Structure 1
Amino acid sequence: MRPAKLDELIGQEHLTGPNGVIRRAIQMGNIPSMIFWGPPGVGKTTLANIIANEIKKPFYTLSAINAGVKDVREIIDKAKHSTRSILFIDEIHRFNKSQQDALLGAVEKGTITLIGATTENPSFEVNTALLSRCQVYTLRALTEDKLLELVRQALTRDEDLKTRNIEIREHQALLNISGGDGRKLLNLVELITEAVPGDLVVTDELVMELAQKHIAIYDKNGEQHYDIISAFIKSIRGSDPNAALYYLARMVEGGEDVKFIARRLVILASEDVGNANPTALILATNTFQAVNIIGYPEARIILAQCVVYLASSSKSNASYMGIGKALQMVAQTGDLPVPLSIRNAPTKLMKDMDYGKNYQYAHDYENNFINMEFLPDKIKGTKFYEPGNNAREDELRKYLRNLWKDKYRY
């Protein structure tokens, strides 16, 4: 089912459409080293294969899960005997510094064109030197329409399936279970069509029944990887340390990258615990640093301590919701002018233009507070932060209410 041509690829039109940067690069025959960043099952590997097929260049592929420096150097040596070979590295964020450094010289000299695929933010996971030599392209999650188009394509192109009478009467369970992952969706279609021979009517009930019978072990390289991390995060958010420890054990036993787990704990400490317990972020950050020093097997103990603490802590997503509201306001109102009184005034000209005029230094006043306007005039009085219902943020609410009275209505 993997497309061989750009026109067969479903989704990612912003990159592969008529004016897409990758389509233009293919047409010009000038492919830069690049990194594809996006969620699982959106076509990162497929797109790399298409590029190699379209420009007719030697194509090598490695998985960062099981490849080492030796494997990288062997491919570089082979590439020296051909013109601009393409090396595709899946899960490139799992390469350590020495493995990534082994690529640098070959990328710089043009011995290889590197295409890396990652589900993690490359700014954090790819060495700066290597990242600076690559274009980063974000692949977007597939929409419902694109996912259904993927299913229709499978049913009409597969040599066996196109001979059968298969009706997709209901599709919500297919979409829910696959979670937007195209590869997972096609695996699910394969599971259903193999389980029910002959004519087939696909319903939500049938999909759920067959999917629940299909027991898959945790595999850090496979489709259940994201199901387990989702269950892990939701168990902590739901204040269930027992379930959280269980899913942690599943990941540890499966050999999950210790940094991947610890990074999720840092995010959760801010997103879901927040100012209900500010110490949570400190502990999670220290956990991230500690497990990088310690590594497995002892890192499991440090992770477990942090997991239990976060799961047992008071919860608040007030800061997370607050920045969401603020970003929405920025998207709606654009770059509103900053009030003159709080603008920076490093030059005489700016001072003459009243930059910084009438600014009142809070520490000069009682309780280190002065009631002045800081938001742009168009949105003054807008409240983005609403303290959560917990002891710590109840104190913040009382403090802010005392300061601002009726302005923000805390």
Structure 2
Amino acid sequence: MDLFAQTPPAQPLAARLRAANLHEYVGQQHILAAGKPLREALEQGALHSMIFWGPPGVGKTTLAKLLADITDAHFETISAVLSGVKEIRQAVDIARQQAGRGRRTILFVDEVHRFNKSQQDAFLPYVEDGTLIFIGATTENPSFELNNALLSRARVYVLKSLDQEAMLQLIERALTEDKGLGARQLSMDFAAKELLMNAADGDGRRLLNLLENAADLVEDGSAIEIELLKSLLGDSVRRFDKGGEAFYDQISALHKSVRGSNPDAALYWFARMLDGGCDPLYIARRVVRMASEDIGNADPRALGICLDAWHVQERLGSPEGELAIAQAVVYLACAAKSNAVYMGYKAARRDAAEFGSLEVPLHLRNAPTKLMKQLGYGEEYRYAHDEPNAYAAGEDYFPEELSPRQYYQPVERGLEIKIAQKLEHLRHLDTNSARQRRKQP
């Protein structure tokens, strides 16, 4: 059966070339090659509910339609952007009618991550009782965006960006097949194809849309030249979904490159994010976070350098600001590393949450009124500047119900070597002080 035998010629090229069978489907061989679980399920007609997770333009919708065609299942589709519980119920009613005729129904939900929890829950009874086979498509990480109940009933398949081989197949089909541009007898050399593939960045739909735009500007029987593509593409940027998976993957790669003391990789990921259209101010804010989380007091200058870079971006914009951020990124990558403050802060937050509202000891309270002084506020407080070397050895600053903790444990790198030495000296003074507020165990 040819799904597209009646495809209107006015449809966009990407729609006209949508694969009508597995032979035409490009990419995703890691799940569709012979012997792979999804391929075997197809060949046996053993459909199951599933989630297709991958970037735009890699064939999620097309694959769902092929599954329905190959297994002779009714195909019903809704979009989470445009649909609600009403549309879900309508799809369920259609699935029940099809079941009465002895035919299975695949319900394909595009951008399923856009549905809220209650909308996602609406599918569960019908998935469980076999009324429908659920296939959801998402560009977002299902672990974060989908309910555990729905995830537990569906298998997740990761679809990847199209590689060069797959994109070349698409270009060849577009230029030679009658339902594509074949009748126009257009040609392209490899350099032009390569530029087109780079601009598409693994997105098959974008690839075909760009090719169609270029084809509209040339005569039949002529070549699509690289200069034409350059003028058409302009400053076309790589894929970078500012709220999606690629966004978080790339900022994660930048952060881990800094933490791993690799300035070259850090610069690469910084450049990739800029190339993808990321706001430099967002990167500047994250770089400040890196300075505190991964460098800390091993090199306190790092935080100031990052804040200065942020200010340069705010005051001067691009490209001066981006260069300042690049300087900060390189400095962080090369700096001594310590997460001691970060780990200590998290430990203190855990204790604050666990132990609740412990009272501030009386000696640490201010006493601005006579009544407060009568109640003992501030009594026996030792003013550090009046003590030898400005340190009140043996003093205690924790709540009475909470034994003193050592949250901050400096590492043996950078300035924290000296900080650790000083803290160890102060602990020695506490241990040997004759004025210990809380006796050592």
Taking structure 2 as the reference length, what is the TM-score of the superposition?
0.54
Give the CA deviation at 1:167: 1.9
Q: Is the 8 A contact 1:35 1:135 kept in 2?
A: yes
CA distance in 1, matches of 2:158, 2:314: 35
CA distance in 1, matches of 2:169, 2:74: 31
**Would you say 1:9 and 2:25 are equivalent positions?**
yes
Compared CA separation, residues 277 and 8, structure 1 to 2 (3 A): same
Which residue number corresponds to residue 354 of structure 2? none
Question: Which secondary structure state, in structure 2, belongs to the residue aligned with residue 201 of structure 1?
Answer: coil
Question: Which secondary structure state, in structure 1, belongs to the residue aligned with residue 187 of structure 2?
Answer: strand
Compared CA separation, residues 199 and 62, structure 1 to 2 (3 A): same
CA distance in 1, matches of 2:186, 2:42: 37
**Would you say 1:109 and 2:161 are equivalent positions?**
no
1:43 aligned partner, one-letter code: G
Give the CA deviation at 1:175: 1.6
Question: Which secondary structure state, in structure 1, belongs to the residue aligned with residue 18 of structure 2?
Answer: coil
Which of 84, 88, 97 does residue 72 from structure 1 map onto?
88
Question: Which secondary structure state, in structure 2, belongs to the residue aligned with residue 168 of structure 1?
Answer: coil
Give the CA deviation at 1:231: 10
CA distance in 2, matches of 1:176, 1:21: 31
**Would you say 1:203 and 2:217 are equivalent positions?**
no
Compared CA separation, residues 321 and 89, structure 1 to 2 (3 A): farther
CA distance in 2, matches of 1:51, 1:185: 24
Give the CA deviation at 1:316: 3.5
Which of 178, 194, 197 does residue 172 from structure 1 map onto?
194
Give the CA deviation at 1:178: 1.1
Which residue number corresponds to residue 173 of structure 2? 153
**Would you say 1:28 and 2:44 are equivalent positions?**
yes
Q: Superposed, which structure 2 residues align to 1:337-348 within 5 Å?
A: none
Compared CA separation, residues 160 and 138, structure 1 to 2 (3 A): closer
**Would you say 1:37 and 2:57 are equivalent positions?**
no
1:41 aligned partner, one-letter code: G
Which of 141, 165, 190 does residue 212 from structure 2 map onto?
190
Question: Which secondary structure state, in structure 2, belongs to the residue aligned with residue 114 of structure 1?
Answer: strand
Q: Is the 8 A contact 1:273 1:315 kept in 2?
A: no
1:344-383, CA deviations, whole angstroms, 9 ceiling, x for partnerless residues? xxxxxxxxxxxxxxxxxxxxxxx96798xxxxxxxxxxxx
Q: Superposed, which structure 2 residues align to 1:50-129 within 5 Å?
A: 50-83=66-99, 84-129=104-149
2:290 aligned partner, one-letter code: N
2:148 aligned partner, one-letter code: T
Structure 1 unaligned regions, length at least 5 = 215-222, 249-264, 280-306, 323-366, 372-395, 404-410
Question: Which secondary structure state, in structure 2, belongs to the residue aligned with residue 80 of structure 1?
Answer: helix
Compared CA separation, residues 39 and 400, structure 1 to 2 (3 A): farther
Give the CA deviation at 1:277: 4.3
Q: Is the 8 A contact 1:276 1:316 kept in 2?
A: no
CA distance in 1, matches of 2:284, 2:35: 38
Q: Is the 8 A contact 1:274 1:316 kept in 2?
A: no
Which of 386, 405, 416 does residue 399 from structure 1 map onto?
416
Give the CA deviation at 1:225: 7.8
CA distance in 1, matches of 2:333, 2:58: 27
Question: Which secondary structure state, in structure 2, belongs to the residue aligned with residue 47 of structure 1?
Answer: helix
CA distance in 1, matches of 2:284, 2:155: 30
Give the CA deviation at 1:158: 3.5
Q: Is the 8 A contact 1:192 1:210 kept in 2?
A: yes
Question: Which secondary structure state, in structure 2, belongs to the residue aligned with residue 167 of structure 1?
Answer: coil
Give the CA deviation at 1:203: 2.9
Q: Is the 8 A contact 1:42 1:182 kept in 2?
A: yes
Which of 136, 139, 152 does residue 132 from structure 1 map onto?
152
Q: Which has the greater radius of gyration?
A: 2
Q: Is the 8 A contact 2:291 2:332 kept in 1?
A: no
Aligned length: 280
Q: Which moved more, 1:140-149 or 1:40-49?
A: 140-149
Q: Is the 8 A contact 1:37 1:138 kept in 2?
A: yes
Give the CA deviation at 1:196: 1.3
Q: Is the 8 A contact 2:33 2:39 kept in 1?
A: yes
Give the CA deviation at 1:39: 1.1
1:179 aligned partner, one-letter code: D
CA distance in 1, matches of 2:203, 2:52: 16
Compared CA separation, residues 193 and 57, structure 1 to 2 (3 A): same
CA distance in 2, matches of 1:8, 1:80: 32
Compared CA separation, residues 81 and 33, structure 1 to 2 (3 A): same
Q: Is the 8 A contact 1:91 1:116 kept in 2?
A: yes
Q: Is the 8 A contact 2:410 2:416 kept in 1?
A: no
**Would you say 1:276 and 2:291 are equivalent positions?**
yes
Taking structure 1 as the reference length, what is the TM-score of the superposition?
0.58
Question: Which secondary structure state, in structure 1, belongs to the residue aligned with residue 153 of structure 2?
Answer: coil
Compared CA separation, residues 120 and 397, structure 1 to 2 (3 A): farther
